[in-house]
């Protein structure tokens, strides 16, 4: 009888292997995607500009990039969508480690490029400049070590900011020489974060299935939404569709 059970089990194992199926339920990891679009609900305001004649090599006016709205689509750029670090989500095997180890923050015509981005704790921030004059770059994190780089003219080799732990929210980065210059970087210890693009669209791939908590954050609004519960289903893209945000969420400082 025992031999019969062993033979049955062996037959099942062979069947699973021949079909390319995993042997255990834990190996059958399930994943899905999340998409959406942030739209400005109201009349699109003119872009914020500042007088930058203090630096004659810059343009006469510079965009602050505090609130970037596509006048054609009303999409809102630079909204962070992320699972907070405290949630410790299960991570897809393809995303366990960052494939790119350097994240670049450049400076051009007295503006940080990009204005908003995400990095992980296994990456470094590589600070560069395309401008033919001096900048300084000063991240102001809550949990990681602050730094203050003097960035020489045309610095292409870059200066590195190394992080150790995830931050709760995006970290502001400033240039104290050109005080209107500002950027934001969100440091996390997992891959599930993104910044909305020029049309307000975003996509996060290979999320674990189940109900997950997300935050929406913008530099003017702070938390657009602090705790959004979203159910991710296996093999599907959860589309949140258009998320309309009223103008009063983005007051000028």
Is 35 part of a structural domain of the chain? Answer: yes
In a domain, 8, yes or no: no
Question: What is residue 62's predicted lDDT score, i.e. its pLDDT?
Answer: 77
Strands, E assignment, 68-158: 80-82, 102-108, 111-113, 116-120, 124-127, 135-139, 149-151
pLDDT tens-digit map of 193-231: 999 999 999 999 999 999 999 999 999 999 999 999 999
Give me the pLDDT at residue 53, please: 67
pLDDT the model gives residue 27: 44
Range of the domain at 111: 30-249
Closest CA to 79 of 91, 88, 66: 66
pLDDT of the residue at 83? 98
Instruction: Indicate whether 104 belongs to any domain.
Output: yes
- Examine residue 21 and state whether it is found in any structural domain, yes or no: no
Give pLDDT < 70 ranges for the chain: 1-29, 53, 59
CA nearest 173: which of 185, 161, 163, 164? 185
The helix or strand, by DSSP H or E, that contains position 36, with its residue range, turns out to be: strand 31-41
Residue 4 placed within a domain = no
CATH number of the domain that residue 219 is part of? 2.60.40.420
User: Does residue 16 lie within any of the structural domains?
Assistant: no
pLDDT at 84 (0 to 100)? 97
Q: What is the pLDDT of residue 2?
A: 46
Q: Could you give the number of structural domains in the chain?
A: 1
Tell me, yes or no, whether 130 lies in a domain.
Answer: yes
Q: Is 34 helix (H, G, I), strand (E, B) or coil?
A: strand
Please report the pLDDT score of residue 59 as a whole number: 65
**What pLDDT does 127 receive?**
97
The verdict on residue 118 lying in a domain is yes
């Amino acid at each position: 009888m025992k031999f019969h059970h062993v033979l049955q089990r062996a037959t099942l194992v062979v069947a699973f292997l021949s079909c390319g199926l995993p042997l255990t339920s834990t190996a059958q990891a399930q994943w899905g995607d999340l998409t959406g679009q942030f739209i400005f609900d109201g009349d699109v305001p003119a872009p914020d500009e500042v007088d930058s004649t203090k630096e004659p090599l810059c343009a006469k006016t510079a965009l602050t990039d505090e609130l970037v709205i596509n006048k054609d689509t009303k999409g809102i750029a630079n909204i962070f969508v992320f699972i907070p670090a405290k949630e410790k989500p299960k991570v897809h095997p393809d995303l366990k480690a960052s494939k790119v180890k350097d994240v670049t923050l450049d400076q051009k015509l007295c503006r940080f490029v990009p204005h908003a981005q995400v990095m992980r704790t296994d990456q470094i921030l590589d600070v560069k400049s395309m401008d033919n004059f001096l900048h300084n770059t000063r991240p102001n994190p809550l949990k990681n070590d602050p730094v203050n780089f003097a960035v020489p003219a045309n610095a292409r080799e870059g200066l590195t900011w190394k992080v150790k732990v995830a931050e709760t929210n995006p970290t502001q980065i400033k240039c104290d020489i050109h005080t209107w210059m500002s950027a934001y970087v969100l440091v996390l210890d997992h891959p599930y974060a993104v910044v909305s693009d020029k049309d307000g669209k975003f996509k996060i791939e290979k999320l674990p299935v189940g109900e997950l908590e997300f935050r929406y954050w913008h530099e003017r609004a702070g938390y657009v939404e602090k705790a959004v519960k979203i159910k991710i289903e296996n093999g599907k893209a959860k589309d949140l569709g258009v998320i309309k945000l009223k103008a009063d969420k983005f007051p000028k400082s």
